[in-house]
Chains A and B, each alone.
Chain A
Amino acid sequence: MMPVEQAVGRPVGAAALLVLAGLFVTSLFVGVGEVSLGGAFTDPDALYLIAASRLPRTLAAVLTGAGLAIAGLVMQTLARNRFVEPTTAGTGQSAALGILLVTLLMPSASIALKTLVASLTALAGTSLFLSIAHRLPPTQPFLVPLFGLVYGGVVGAAVTFVAWHADLLQFVEIWTSGEFSGVLRGRYELLWVSAAMLAATWIFADRFTLMSLGRDVSVGLGLDYARMMQIGLVIISVVTALTVVVVGLIPFVGLVVPNMVSRLMGDNMRSAIPWVAGSGAALVLVCDIVGRLLRFPYEIPVGTVLGVVGAAAFLWLLFRRPAHA
Chain B
Amino acid sequence: MFMIRLIAILAAFVLPAAAFAESVDVSTARGVVALQAKPRRVAVFDMAALDTLDLLGVKAAGVPDRVYLPELKKAAAGAEVVGTLFEPDLEALSALGPDLIILGGRSSPKLQQTSRVAPTIDMSIDGQDLIKDAEARLDTYGRLFGREQAAREAQRTFVAAVAAAREAAKDKGRALILMTNGPKISAFGVGSRFGWLHATLGIEPAVTSMGPGIHGEAVSFEFVRKADPDWLIVVDRALAIGAGDSQARATLDNELVRSTKAWKQGRVIYLPAADLYIAGGGIQAMTRVLAAITRGFSATQ
Chain A residues near B (Cβ < 8 Å): 31-34, 49, 52-53, 103, 107, 167-168, 170-171, 174-175, 179, 181-182, 184-187, 292, 295, 297-301
Contact = CB atoms under 8 A, between A and B. Distances in A.
Contact of A32 (B223, B237, B241): B223
B245 interface: yes
Interface stretch (B135-143, B151-159, B178-186): B178-186
A298 B218 CA distance: 6
B244 interface: yes
Interface of B: 66, 84, 181-185, 187, 217-223, 225-226, 237-238, 241-245, 251, 254-256
Nearest to B68: A167
Contacts of B225: 32-33
B184 A103 contact: no
Contact of B184 (A170, A179, A185): A179
A167 B242 contact: yes
B70 to A, nearest CB: 15
A297 B222 CA distance: 10
B119 to A, nearest CB: 29
A175 B223 CA distance: 22
A174 B251 CA distance: 14
A49 B254 CA distance: 13
A291 B94 CA distance: 48
Contacts of B223: 32, 297-298
B256 A182 contact: no
B289 to A, nearest CB: 21
B218 A171 contact: no
**3 A-B pairs with the lowest CB-CB distances in the bound complex, closest first:** A107-B244, A182-B183, A298-B217
Nearest to B85: A167
Nearest to B181: A174
A32 B226 contact: yes
Contacts of B218: 179, 181, 298-301
A175 B226 CA distance: 26
B184 A184 contact: no
A187 B244 contact: no
A114 to B, nearest CB: 11
B66 A167 contact: yes
A49 B226 CA distance: 11
Nearest to A172: B243
A181 B256 contact: no
A49 B256 CA distance: 8
Contacts of B187: 298
A132 B79 CA distance: 49
Contacts of A33: 222, 225-226
B255 A52 contact: yes
Nearest to A175: B182
A175 B237 CA distance: 13
Instruction: Pick the most buried of B184, B187, B220, B241: most chain A CB atoms within 10 A of its CB.
Output: B220
Contact of B254 (A175, A187, A297): A187
A114 B243 CA distance: 15
B138 to A, nearest CB: 28
Contact of A107 (B84, B183, B222, B245): B245
14 contacts: A31-B220, A53-B222, A53-B256, A103-B245, A107-B245, A167-B84, A167-B242, A171-B182, A174-B181, A174-B237, A179-B218, A292-B220, A298-B187, A299-B218
